[in-house]
Amino acid sequence: MVNPVRLGDRILAVFEDGRSFLFTVQEGKLQTHHGVIDLASLVGKSYGSVCETHTGKRFYIMKPRFVDEIYKMKRQTQIVYPKDMGFILLMLDVHEGRTVIDAGVGSGAMCAALARAVGTTGKVYAYERREEFKRLAEENLKKWGLMDRVEIKLKDISEGFDETVDAIFLDVPDPWNYIRQCYEALNGSGNLAIVCPTTNQVQRVLEELSKFPFLNVEVWESLFRQYKPVAERLRPFDRMIAHTAYMVFARKTMDWRD
Ligand code: SAH
pLDDT band at 194 (very low <50, low <70, confident <90, very high): very high
Mean pLDDT value across residues 201-205: 98
Ligand 1 centroid distance, CA of 105 (Å): 5
Q: Say if ligand 1 is within 6 A of residue 166 CB.
A: no
For 58, the enclosing helix (H) or strand (E) is strand 58-62
Mean pLDDT value across residues 240-245: 93
Task: List Cβ neighbours of 5 (8 Å cut-off, separation of 6 or more).
Answer: 11, 25, 42, 43, 44, 45, 46, 47, 61
In whole angstroms, give the CA distance from residue 30 to residue 47: 18
Give percent above pLDDT 70 in the chain: 99
Q: Say if ligand 1 is within 6 A of residue 138 CB.
A: no
Quick check: 1 pLDDT over 70?
A: no
Quick check: 3 pLDDT over 90?
A: no
In whole angstroms, give the CA distance from residue 78 to residue 1: 41
Q: In degrees rounded to 5, what are phi and psi of residue 121?
A: -100, -5
pLDDT band at 257 (very low <50, low <70, confident <90, very high): confident
Which tens digit of pLDDT belongs to each residue from 47-63? 999 999 999 999 999 99
Ligand 1 centroid distance, CA of 61 (Å): 35
Quick check: 21 pLDDT over 70?
A: yes
The C-alpha torsion from 35 through 40 and 44 to 47, rounded to 10°, is 50
Do 47 and 79 form a contact (C-beta atoms < 8 A)?
Answer: no
Sign of CA dihedral 36, 41, 43, 47: negative
- Burial code (b: 16+ CB inside 10 Å, e: under 16) for 97-135 equals ebbbbbbbbbbbbbbbbbbbbbeeebbbbbbbbeeebbe
Task: List Cβ neighbours of 133 (8 Å cut-off, separation of 6 or more).
Answer: 76, 77, 104, 105, 106, 107
Quick check: 245 pLDDT over 90?
A: yes
To the nearest whole number, what is the mean pLDDT of the chain?
Answer: 96
pLDDT at position 258, please? Answer: 62
Ligand 1 centroid distance, CA of 106 (Å): 5
Mean pLDDT value across residues 171-192: 98
Residue 93: left (phi > 0), alpha (psi -120 to 50), or beta? left
Ligand 1 centroid distance, CA of 115 (Å): 17
pLDDT at position 17, please? Answer: 95
pLDDT band at 16 (very low <50, low <70, confident <90, very high): very high
In whole angstroms, give the CA distance from residue 70 to residue 81: 8
Mean pLDDT value across residues 162-168: 98
Residue nearest to atom 16 of ligand 1 (CA): 104
**Could you give the residue ranges of the DSSP H alpha helices within 119-175?**
131-143
Domains and CATH numbers, the chain: 10-64 (3.10.330.20), 73-252 (3.40.50.150)
How many other C-beta atoms are found inside a 10 Å radius of the C-beta of residue 236?
10
pLDDT band at 256 (very low <50, low <70, confident <90, very high): confident
Residue nearest to atom 12 of ligand 1 (CA): 106
How much is the pTM? 0.96
Ligand 1 centroid distance, CA of 142 (Å): 19
